[in-house]
Amino acid sequence: MAVSDISYRPRFLAGGNVYLPHLAVIEKTVDETHDTKTLHFNFKDEKLRRDFVFESGQFCLLSVLGVGEAPFCVSSSPTRRDHLECTIRQVGRLTRALHRFGEGAEIGFRGPYGNCFPLDFLQGKNLVFVGGGIGLAPLRSLIWNVIDNRDRYGKIDIIYGARSPADLCFSYDLEAWDKDETVNIVTTVDKGDDGWTGRVGLVPMVLEEVAPSPKNSVAIVCGPPIMIRFTFPVLEKLGFTPEQMLTTLEKRMKCGIGKCGRCNIGNIYVCRDGPVFSYAQIKGFISSEY
Amino acid sequence: MIPATEKVKINKKDVAKLLGEWSGEFTVLVPSRDEGVVKWARWDGEDASFLDWYRNTIVPPKAIFLPPMEEMFGFQKDKASYRIELPVSSERKQLIFGIRPCDAKALAILDMNFSDAYEDPYYLAKRKRGVLIGLGCANPYDSCFCTSLDSSPNDATNVDVMLTDIGDEFLVEVITNQGRELVAKTSLVQVAAETDEVRAEEAKEAAYGRVARKIDTGSIKEKLLSCFEDKDYWEEVAAKCISCGICTFLCPTCYCFDISDELVKNQGERFRSWDSCAFPLYTKMPMENPRQQKWRRLRQKVCHKYGFYPINFEVIACTGCGRCIRLCPVNWDITQILGNLPTKEQLTPEKC
Amino acid sequence: MNHKEMEKKLRREARALLEQGKVGYIIGFEAGSLKFTTTPLITSDTGDISRLVVNPFIANNLSVYLAGVKGRVGIVVKGCDSRSIVSLLQDNKIAREDIVILGVPCSGLIDLGKVEELVGKERDELDDIARDGDRVVVTDNGNNSEFPIHEVLYDNCLGCEFPTPQEYDILLGEPTLPAGDRYQAVSLMKIKQLKDMPAQQRWEFWRNEFDRCIRCYACRNICPACFCQRCFVEESEPQWLLPVPRWQDNLMFQVIRNIHVAGRCTDCGGCERACPVNIPLRSLTREMYGIIAELFHYKPGMDKDTAPFLAAYEATDTEDFVR
């Protein structure tokens, strides 16, 4: 198999050079948890603001010029285009710098890169979203995308969990989806606190209890690798086939366009051929290093 | 004007003059010695005495097109605002004189990665303004194994002009139109006699025979991937490796790079620099590292070159230049590994 | 010094160690895949023992493989390497009972680079290189050339004070006496030339050398004293150096590395040997070794019960630099 043709994906190159970032201005920051923030930003360039398109599941490379650059999924939905959102967890030098930025600060943006959630495949199906921690970020883009085109899809089930109530991201979205009658959402935590009256239990376990039907369904899973590894077997037990399970993978990335070599799993590059993969594809990977 | 079918030759004593002629239009790069280290550098404008001792460089010509460090762009910071500036890139053409067939083939292999999907502007711009004058090997190293990788000491496929040593002279074969233009401009070449062509053929055959190191690359992809999951095997293979970057940095087909930023006061740059899959930091993520263990990193290197790249681009990402064997501080030898792969039941490699 | 006899004894002892279950692995040298080279052999298979060699090309410091070994290991070391092991013992990186030290009394290793320059040919073009007492005989196309050892041994071998392993379990031959002052001047010639240079010229020299550095980290990775899981160059908070091979970053890398291994470097020469672009790293490491000997009267790797150099303070230490 030679490399697949990805020339159909829309590109927004600054100055014709794929490595040049576009400058974007932060309009708002939202504290999700003690170490996670969502940045709302918009391109400085008017034309780009109008022309820019992306799909749910794609990622971008955000930089603080002078500090570094790293991949983040776009957590806002393509159906809500007045600004873009990326959700960032503070883990090192670059993310600390991003967290220090407030309204008016400028960041670099390269993207959108990667493949996306296959909306054609999902259309007409019941969707089961399984998210853990900050893994809800890429799912969130798809969830709002789907809700904004509600009549194209079947049932929507969301099972979302975090380590503790303080680690739940997008609490405002969780509320909105709870209020939405066309959506079933179950929120759980590994360990509750004094104020928590909701479900307690690990996400894979709660998934098994909720037991969504695999009939005409697709499960979209995202979270820490260990959660994904325990969720797939549960879905299989419930009757989902590997083709009915989707996820997005994470890797250390630098170029984001399949050139620098580091994000590969066997012969595929997560930045170029992913980050969205089905479990069927993952099972077929040459390497289990994901 | 030399007719297309004519082969020409040049006296070795005239090479310096020829380089002088070409220096008008090109920056001429030749093999040169710096503290005993043979590498590509600007011709000093004097002589071609490198022809006396040159076998191959330590730093491959990939360093010309994908330099060890390169400024991607600069930027100015003004409070919370930035202004991005592209570095001024040279338009001047470069002539690389004396590139060996293994290194020229390696550039063709690198082209595939840098033009796939997104075009890499930095590498491709340099390739576009580069001209390759190949020089066939007369004296291969004991570490060379190009003949096992669809190439030979005199393979002319990837150069613009190919020179073959026939004693006091070089036989000059024009390969591309650009090469033809170059050779047509000079009066230092003479028409080659049939005896010259015969001598060249003999020299090529002799050089081919001198490449003693051989590996069997038939089904190497399948053999490698079938033992991919054999942890014990790879641990044994990786035992003496010290995870430095010598084999990958000095390999003409390795291209992995790192991107890093620097900001000093209000002036900054984004650099690209050589990186290696042998380094643990290469795949490190905040919470985990899929290749923390040395055997995984070594497995990645071998399988990328002889397995994954062939799956994606239908060519083995190795040209048998032998630098990795010659320069490895512990004499880890990829030909020994590839010649002794364990046999297991076959798995099909076309997985994705 | 009879290499063949030492080799026979080594193979006997190594086989016995494995067969009697006294060690799980043997780390030694076997013939390399290129002429006049050797390569580390790390094996648990008695069938591999006959591949072990002792010859003038067993240059690598095998103690680099010890930090991270599981179980008991038999390891072949020369004088300088055994001091690296003692240094690792001082640092608590390995336990003495986990290693069986097979000591080779060393009479110096042949520097192929020096041979190539003297003969005017490259390694693979020569027929034979053999040590014969005080001389090395190089055979090229049937012709023999002889060179006195002080022209072809490594600089650090010429100045070696402890050629016989100080710490060992089994000594594979008669102890070698150090050459004393005989070749000290030659051994330190490059360093003396540097010290004689005015500061500006020396700066230019190193700037030129470090321009060639490609940051392959072979010098660091081959060094037994560099055993940090995460090297300072891999830190991003703070970012000490850029991973970019600019001469400034390259020079600082080497300076800081020297300070980190100070008092643990035993002048085995591994760093300079490993460098693919011929940077004279030993000129830095040996100078540091000399400074520590002079200021602190300390030689690395001599006594496994002494505290590590950078982790100890003596009342008699020089403190005239403290103001």
* B325 and chain C in contact, CB less than 8 A: yes
Domain match, C121 and C268 both: no
Dump strand ranges (E) for chain A.
22-31, 36-43, 59-64, 68-73, 84-89, 106-113, 126-132, 156-162, 183-189, 199-200, 217-222, 245-248, 264-265, 268-269, 276-278
Q: Does residue C118 fall inside a structural domain?
A: yes
Contact at CB, B271 and C242, closer than 8 angstroms: yes
Lowest-pLDDT range of A121-135, A253-267, B333-347, C135-149 = B333-347
Three-class SS of residue A216?
A: coil
Q: Is residue C288 within 8 Å of C271, Cβ to Cβ? A: no
Domain extent at residue C67: 3-109+153-311
The closest CB to that of B258, out of C34, C60, C243, belongs to: C243
Decide if pLDDT at B352 tops 70.
no
Contact at CB, C39 and B333, closer than 8 angstroms: yes
pLDDT-derived band at B4, boundaries 50, 70, 90: low
Domain match, C172 and C253 both: yes
Domain match, C144 and C237 both: no
Domain match, C30 and C131 both: no
Q: Is residue C59 within 8 Å of C48, Cβ to Cβ? A: no
Number of other residues whose CB lies within 10 A of the CB of residue A175: 12
Decide if pLDDT at A260 tops 50.
yes
What pLDDT, on a 0 to 100 scale, did the predictor assign at position C1? 52
Lowest-pLDDT range of A14-18, A94-98, B63-67, C237-241 = A14-18
Residues 6+ apart with CB under 8 A from A81: A52
- Look up residue A102 and give its amino acid: G
Chain C hits for A92, CB-CB cut-off 8 Å, are 236-237
Q: Across all residues in chain B, what is the average pLDDT? A: 93
What pLDDT, on a 0 to 100 scale, did the predictor assign at position C323? 63
Rounded Cα distance, B180 and B162, in Å: 11
C-alpha Rg value of chain A to the nearest Å = 18
Tell me how far apart the terminal alpha carbons of chain B are, to the nearest angstrom: 52
Q: Does residue C303 fall inside a structural domain?
A: yes
Do you find a cis peptide bond into C238, omega within 30 degrees of 0?
Answer: yes
pLDDT-derived band at B349, boundaries 50, 70, 90: very low
C285: left (phi over 0), alpha (psi -120 to 50) or beta: alpha
What pLDDT, on a 0 to 100 scale, did the predictor assign at position B173? 95
Contact at CB, B261 and A273, closer than 8 angstroms: no
Q: Is residue A134 within 8 Å of B286, Cβ to Cβ? A: no
Rounded Cα distance, A218 and A230, in Å: 17
Q: Which chains touch C (3 or more CB pairs under 8 A)?
A: A, B
* C42 and chain B in contact, CB less than 8 A: yes
Domain match, C190 and C132 both: no
Contact at CB, C236 and A93, closer than 8 angstroms: yes
* C40 and chain B in contact, CB less than 8 A: yes
pLDDT-derived band at B348, boundaries 50, 70, 90: very low
What pLDDT, on a 0 to 100 scale, did the predictor assign at position A5? 82
Q: Is residue A61 within 8 Å of A260, Cβ to Cβ? A: no
Cα dihedral across residues B86, B88, B91, B96: positive or negative: negative
pLDDT digits (tens, 9 = 90+) for A75-118: 999 999 999 999 999 999 999 999 999 999 999 999 999 999 99
Cβ pairs bridging A and B (under 8 Å): 151
Decide if pLDDT at C74 tops 80.
yes
Domain match, C160 and C22 both: yes
Chain B hits for A250, CB-CB cut-off 8 Å, are 285
Once rounded to an integer, what is the mean pLDDT over residues B248-256? 98
pLDDT digits (tens, 9 = 90+) for B76-127: 999 889 999 988 888 899 999 999 999 999 999 999 999 998 999 999 999 9
Rounded Cα distance, A197 and A205, in Å: 18
Rounded Cα distance, B323 and B250, in Å: 7
The closest CB to that of C276, out of B141, B242, B246, belongs to: B246
The number of distinct structural domains making up chain C is 2
What residue of B is the nearest CA neighbor of C275?
Answer: B329
What pLDDT, on a 0 to 100 scale, did the predictor assign at position B350? 39
Percent of chain B surpassing pLDDT 90: 89
Cβ pairs bridging B and C (under 8 Å): 114
Domain match, C14 and C116 both: no
Rounded to a whole number of angstroms, the distance from the CA of C237 to the nearest CA of chain A is: 6
Decide if pLDDT at B324 tops 90.
yes
Decide if pLDDT at B347 tops 50.
no
Contacts for C226-234: CB closer than 8 Å, 24+ residues apart: C226/C257, C226/C260, C226/C261, C227/C67, C227/C88, C227/C91, C227/C93, C228/C260, C232/C256, C232/C260, C234/B280, C234/B281
pLDDT digits (tens, 9 = 90+) for A114-138: 999 999 999 999 999 999 999 999 9
* B263 and chain A in contact, CB less than 8 A: yes
Domain match, C123 and C225 both: no
* C277 and chain B in contact, CB less than 8 A: yes
* A106 and chain B in contact, CB less than 8 A: yes
pLDDT digits (tens, 9 = 90+) for B17-51: 999 999 999 999 999 998 899 999 999 999 899 99
Once rounded to an integer, what is the mean pLDDT over residues A251-272? 95
Cβ pairs bridging A and C (under 8 Å): 7
Q: Does residue C317 fall inside a structural domain?
A: no
Rounded Cα distance, C266 and C85, in Å: 10
Rounded Cα distance, C291 and C297, in Å: 9
Domain match, C119 and C11 both: no
Q: Across all residues in chain C, what is the average pLDDT? A: 94
Domain match, C145 and C162 both: no
What residue of B is the nearest CA neighbor of A104?
Answer: B80
What pLDDT, on a 0 to 100 scale, did the predictor assign at position B351? 33
Three-class SS of residue B190?
A: strand
Our measurement of the distance from residue A142's CA atom to the centroid of its chain's CA atoms, rounded to an integer in Å, reads: 8
Q: Which of C152, C176, C204 is where one domain is finished?
A: C152
Domain match, C88 and C221 both: yes
Name B263's bridge partners. B268
Q: Does residue C319 fall inside a structural domain?
A: no
Decide if pLDDT at B1 tops 60.
no
Contact at CB, C65 and B240, closer than 8 angstroms: yes
Decide if pLDDT at C151 tops 90.
yes
pLDDT-derived band at C61, boundaries 50, 70, 90: very high
Percent of chain C surpassing pLDDT 70: 98
Residues 6+ apart with CB under 8 A from B286: A89, A91, A92
Show the domains of chain A with their CATH numbers.
22-113 (2.40.30.10), 119-248 (3.40.50.80)
Domain match, C228 and C243 both: yes
Residues 6+ apart with CB under 8 A from C132: none
Q: Does residue C320 fall inside a structural domain?
A: no
